[in-house]
Amino acid sequence: MARWHQIVAAIILVACIACIGYFSYKYSQQNQVLKHGHYGVIIDAGGTGSRLYVYEYRSEDDIRNIFSKKCEKQGLTQYSNITELRPLLIQCLHDAEAEIPKDIIKSTPLFMKATAGMRKLKLQDGTKYKNVWSEVRKILSDGNFPVSTVGTIPGKDEATYSWTTVNKVFPSKESNGIIEIGSTSLQIAFAPASGTNLPAAYSSEVDINGGNYKIYATSYLCLGKEEFMRRYYAELVRDANYSTTVDNPCGNKGYELNLTEQYLWEKQPCISGAFANSFLGQSIPSDPSSGKLYTMKGSGDYTQCQNNVQKLFDIKKCNQTSCGMFDVFQPQIHGKFIAIGGAAYYASKFLNLPNDFNLTTFQQHLKALCESNVQQVEQREGFGKYSFTYCLSNSLTNHVLQNVVQVDTTIPGNFMFTNKKTSWTLGSIIKDKDQLSAALYETVRGMSEKSYIILMVIMGVFLVVVIAYFVVSCKKRDVYDPV
């Protein structure tokens, strides 16, 4: 046998022995592997509907929204008979159970947190507010999830949760401030410059992305899109001496909107009463002659529209060291900002803004929209049932950008509208992570038993062949090289 054949056979023999040792070592290794993370179920009881989310918290950098569903499409405040909610919520909970491992359903906490719609209801009708929550708690307690938190969250918490969500979804070296325009309230939150002294009423601490942030957070009830527009229309009617035909400079030319006195004034704390007077600076009284129908006739006067919007904010003066709107404390703006929420995104999208817009560009596009007539608005890409309200709702955004969040929009990336759906519920889950169900780990070998057996058989075959080869070679040498 040629000497090089012997060398190759020896190498194969050593390699087989080494592989057997390595595979045996891998098979003996036992590792703890995450089978599933911590689970939590949260229902966002918003002003226009309630949506359920199921989250799986696997790690700080791996939080998954594995399921979401709209449970009801009116909002808790709109049910005259709150028991109508039972089948809707129960079905939602059943659907959520299907997304969670069966063995941890009874240890997965359920949160139901309401926002500005319920904060407003508490001002409107305290008795109904209590009855709604009483019935909701009964419904949820009949499900399989242990009920953790059920109630209305303060506006500051809502702003904090939204800030947390945005900075988890859009992480950056410097944190992002947020402007969130909902249907009933408007939230502002950001991390002020280092060393800024924040009153406790506006201060929140957030641990996220490996850092600890002390942020400013506040919420303006009545400055969400729907409530702001209601107040704007009530002011127009009052200024027109309660005439049934009212000029609407923020309405497109040729567009008419009919509003009942009931819509404008009946149990509306954002329009009249103690809250409107104390927080917004004035209570707008209704017409003593009840039952009127008011027609808002659009005139498309951009300049007058902006003046009318500004007028709503000029009533109550700032008595703090610095303010955002009305008499609400706000430190100096710091960092980049992202506008979130459908009221901001869809309205601004209708303006056909370029990606790198600044405040001047925003105002130019807003002016073009406000001065368009009905036919021109209908011909715009993306026209829908809310399009005739976008001049007014974008005018609210314009006021916030120009007078409240005075970020330098000429610097690229300093301000943007996001088209990515975000929910404050993610921020809430991060805050409540210690209450979530336990994660499950399983012991996994470094190599599966099946793979180990197959490899051992293969290595065994190689060993047998190599050893047999050496035996045969030795016998041949004995035959041809006798002593």
Task: Show which residues are catalytic.
Answer: 158
What are residue 443's DSSP bridge partners? 32
Closest CA to 375 of 304, 298, 295: 298
Q: What is the DSSP letter of 322?
A: S
**In 166-316, where do the E strands start and end?**
176-181, 185-190, 203-208, 211-221, 245-248, 256-260, 293-298
Q: What is the largest CA-CA distance in the chain?
A: 133
Helix or strand or coil: residue 339?
strand
The rounded distance, in Å, linking the Cα atoms of 397 and 400 is 5
Burial letters 221-242, b for 16+ CB under 10 A, else e: bbbbbbbbbbbbbbbbbbeeeb
Question: With 0-12 CB in 10 A as exposed, 13-18 as middle and 19+ as buried, what is 264?
Answer: buried
Helix H or strand E segment including 305:
helix 302-313
Closest CA to 425 of 181, 67, 131, 82: 67
Structure tokens at 140: 């949820």
Structure tokens at 339: 């506008």
* Upper half-sphere CA count for residue 331 (Cβ side, 13 Å): 22
**In 343-405, where do the E strands start and end?**
none
Helix H or strand E segment including 167:
helix 155-169
First to last CA, the chain: 18
The answer to whether 144 and 93 have CB atoms below 8 angstroms apart is yes
Phi-psi region of 37 (alpha: psi -120 to 50; beta: other; left: phi over 0): beta
The rounded distance, in Å, linking the Cα atoms of 386 and 252 is 12
Question: With 0-12 CB in 10 A as exposed, 13-18 as middle and 19+ as buried, what is 349?
Answer: middle
Residue with the two structure tokens 């600044």? 358
The rounded distance, in Å, linking the Cα atoms of 236 and 250 is 11
Question: With 0-12 CB in 10 A as exposed, 13-18 as middle and 19+ as buried, what is 13?
Answer: middle
Residue with the two structure tokens 């009946």? 266
Structure tokens at 465: 């062949």
Please count the other Cβ atoms lying within 10 Å of the Cβ belonging to residue 141: 12
